[in-house]
Structure 1
Amino acid sequence: MCIDLKSFYASVECALLGLDPFKTPLVVADHSRGGGSIVLAVSPYLKKFGVPGRCRIFELPTNIKIIFQKPRMEKYLEYSTKIVEIYLRFVSEEDMYVYSIDEVFLDLTEYMNFYKKTDVQIAKMIMAEIYKETKVYSTCGIGPNMLMAKLALDIESKHSPDFIAKWDYENLPEKLWKVTPLSEMWGIGRNMEAHLNKMGLFKIGDIANFDVKRLKRKFGIIGEELYYHTHGIDSSLIQDKNNIKPIAKSYGTGQTLFRDYFPPDVYQIVLELVDDVSRRLRMSKKKAKTIHFGIGYSKEAGGGFSRQLSLDQPTSSESEIYKACLHLFNQYYEREPIRRVHVSVTNLVEQPEMQINLFEDINQAIKEAEVFSAIDEIKFKYGKNAVNRASSELKASTVKARNDMIGGHNA
């Protein structure tokens, strides 16, 4: 089964305030940052009126008296941990896979006989316990494998009177194949949907009845897997979770700014983002050959740019990555007010021993590597704000505030 905590951040805030999330117009967002601030969650009550779970404050309806709650990531993590402990009262750790802060997979195969109950009855027990102890509502999808449990959760459970949906293979033509747009199905993104639409496929059933060989020729193994997924076929096991370790193919970070930035102030933001990316490269013992840099202009100006630059030699050097970003900035910047900056690196390789470059001061390179290695150790031991550049005291800097956040939001 797959259990999701309904509108989790908003539900936690309602629970703390003693309010019913189905009757309360509550939004989790930092209203003090202005209309451009990102909304992290909205209560189920607001969703009934078509308010999306992710938007900006200025996009919220003005005819509803909305309660704004500032994000508290530490509190949400505390609730999530408490709920995971509830799951572990019903199943062993090896039969649980924590998919995200608010979603989990549980394998009940061996437990129905133990509890002498059906899977639906066990789901009700767990969901009742979650609500009893946290006042947070949950939804549940049940199926013969992880994929079908997830599909039942996403597509039907939220509309079910008891927030539980159980699917089996014979339900697919009626419950899954009629689904449109295609991106409503877990695993199909907007880009994939556009490609499939060009092939004349608009419903999930269109994919299920399509030639699997043509899908494989077009999309490779992903196309073949997609075909089988529309038939509910998935061999993933929760018990294999320790083997699912994604290999990082890139590192990146970005920041949405809460006022207009121009040069030279924006250089400080670029430098702080480069610091973060290069630190992650060093910690993973990687170097990168391609630097990606992007700028988003203010809403009034619109647009921006995103460009990349390939280096002659892979690097994890902050100065080299920063230099590449400034080169792209100076080449493509159009003197508009800046509200978004993004830096990422790709084409990663294992970090070899330091190589001598005839066009580089080797002593300077060694000194920089030693300095940042020492800084990494201090930050790891004492926290990210234990040591920062002197420029972090400038008004344009945001690094100290960001370092106190969790996932880019207030702790």
Structure 2
Amino acid sequence: MEEYKLRKNIICIDLKSFYASVECAISGLDPFKTPLVVADKERGGGSIVLAVSPYLKTFGVPNRCRVYELPKNIDIIYRKPKMERYLEYSTRIVELYLDFVSEEDIYVYSVDEVFIDLTGYLQYYNMTDYEIAKKILKTIYDETKIYATCGIGPNMLMAKLALDIESKHSPDFIAKWDYEDLPAKLWTVTPLSKMWGIGRNMERNLNSLGIYKIEDLAKFDVKKLKKKFGIIGEELYYHSHGIDMSLIQEKLGVKPISKSYGIGQTLFQDYYKPEIFQIIREMVDDVCRRLRVSKKMAKTVHFGLAYSKEIGGGFARQTKLEQPSQNESHVFKACLSLMNKFYDNSPIRVVRIAVTNFVDKKGYQVSLFEDINQVVKENAVFSAIDEIKEKFGKNSVNRASSELKHSTIKARNDMIGGHNA
């Protein structure tokens, strides 16, 4: 197994409680002493909390919850999410990384997390990876007043594990792991889902085999794991030994191709028929616009509803179109067909729509039961709308129904990633 062990100098940096820390930095507040929450309280108790300050985490408040779940005995400061502001801070901090290393040695994992390969810079700076990491974290704070944590390891996996499991408890927010540290620092971890790459479902599957902590996984028969879970089982076994052959430079060379276009929307009041049709129509418009922009047509439509918390339940189903399409009317009819089959008239709080199984747009074969003029007209109208939106913004043109009180499209168009821009 020794031959599979990389010997690089990788750091993984996470901006601590990023959204909440940005809000604290702007207001001149200490995130470790301030009970600040990033959430749109005006939307009601069901509004999603995007981030809480490190101070609130010391009281056991999770980073993701609903407003009504927040403690009532603390005088909480609320900040409405401003995604554009957070993206600006994120970009600014990435520019700080570029003061230390070249672009090809940085892999941006998310808006608040990056991997950096320091292997070729130790001699240049005449510093250890730990010393460089400490200097980078200090620079981030000096320039932005944002605290960061850092994991260091011989590969990307080990750096991430050091970050997630140890760095947050370290006095200087930095943790360094090497292969010999695994028995003491990783193998004792339980439940399994605390390890990066193991979700709740996989945890239950591994538990059924008598695997309850990472040491059990590390000592399990890798052949049995591969037979049971395929390549993922084998990968988890090697991960338990800290083995990961991923290189940052290879990650940068991969350009992921989306295999689906989807949208989900959490509603802030109960919806029923016929009001929900308005929401579905607007979401279908969004999904089909993405198909047109990418010059793709979809074969399969996925549609799901989740009911209010008091009722619980919902459904998620899919259906195949008669032929690949990017037309709103075809996707909308498919959604309504699934709704008519599975919806039980309960109050709706979440709607999800997605399209998959793409083919390149070449042409559309009109069936005997369709009006060819209507199909051509729809294509022309929505192509024109796409051009207007591209030039003048998403809210430059909408359906007249967007003025109805049940519509959410205008508000969503002013958001980034589903949150206020």
TM > 0.5: yes
Partner residue, 2:67: 57
Work out the CA distance in 2 between the residues paired with 1:237 and 1:307.
Answer: 38
Identity across the alignment (%): 73
The Cα of 1:247 is off from its aligned counterpart by 2.5
The Cα of 1:270 is off from its aligned counterpart by 0.5
Work out the CA distance in 2 between the residues paired with 1:20 and 1:377.
Answer: 46
Q: Is the aligned partner of 1:173 residue 2:180?
A: no
Q: Is the aligned partner of 1:299 residue 2:309?
A: yes
When structure 1 is superposed on structure 2, of 277-286 and 89-98 the one drifting more is 277-286
When structure 1 is superposed on structure 2, of 41-50 and 293-302 the one drifting more is 293-302
Partner residue, 1:87: 97
CA contact (8 A) 2:107 2:252 kept: no
Q: Is the aligned partner of 1:359 residue 2:369?
A: yes
Work out the CA distance in 2 between the residues paired with 1:194 and 1:284.
Answer: 39
Letter in 2 for 1:112: L
| 2:326 paired residue among 298, 316, 333 | 316
CA offsets per residue over residues 133-167 of structure 1, 9 Å max, x none?
Answer: 11110000000111111111011101111100000
Q: Is the aligned partner of 1:164 residue 2:174?
A: yes
Work out the CA distance in 2 between the residues paired with 1:216 and 1:284.
Answer: 37
Work out the CA distance in 2 between the residues paired with 1:250 and 1:315.
Answer: 14
The Cα of 1:106 is off from its aligned counterpart by 0.7
Partner residue, 1:26: 36
Letter in 1 for 2:24: C
Show the 5 A alignment for 1:135-214.
135-214=145-224
The Cα of 1:26 is off from its aligned counterpart by 0.7
Show the 5 A alignment for 1:7-156.
7-156=17-166
The Cα of 1:47 is off from its aligned counterpart by 0.6
TM-score normalised to structure 2 length: 0.95
CA offsets per residue over residues 120-144 of structure 1, 9 Å max, x none?
Answer: 1101111001001111100000001
Q: SS of 1:63's equivalent? A: coil
Letter in 2 for 1:268: Q
The Cα of 1:362 is off from its aligned counterpart by 2.5
* Gap regions ≥5 residues in structure 2: 1-10
Show the 5 A alignment for 1:256-267.
256-267=266-277
Letter in 1 for 2:20: A
CA offsets per residue over residues 28-71 of structure 1, 9 Å max, x none?
Answer: 00111110000000001111111000000001111111111111
Work out the CA distance in 2 between the residues paired with 1:195 and 1:68.
Answer: 40
The Cα of 1:5 is off from its aligned counterpart by 0.2
Work out the CA distance in 1 between the residues paired with 2:409 and 2:317.
Answer: 24
Q: SS of 2:99's equivalent? A: helix
Q: Between Structure 1 and Structure 2, how many residues are aligned?
A: 411
Q: SS of 1:110's equivalent? A: helix
Q: Cα RMSD over matched residues?
A: 1.3
Letter in 2 for 1:88: L
When structure 1 is superposed on structure 2, of 255-264 and 139-148 the one drifting more is 255-264
The Cα of 1:206 is off from its aligned counterpart by 1.5
TM-score normalised to structure 1 length: 0.97
* Gap regions ≥5 residues in structure 1: none
The Cα of 1:255 is off from its aligned counterpart by 0.8
The Cα of 1:349 is off from its aligned counterpart by 2.7
Work out the CA distance in 1 between the residues paired with 2:65 and 2:362.
Answer: 43
Work out the CA distance in 1 between the residues paired with 2:274 and 2:138.
Answer: 56
Letter in 2 for 1:156: E
Partner residue, 1:328: 338
Q: Is the aligned partner of 1:404 residue 2:414?
A: yes
CA offsets per residue over residues 260-318 of structure 1, 9 Å max, x none?
Answer: 21221111000011111111122222222222211122222222222222222222211
Letter in 2 for 1:198: S
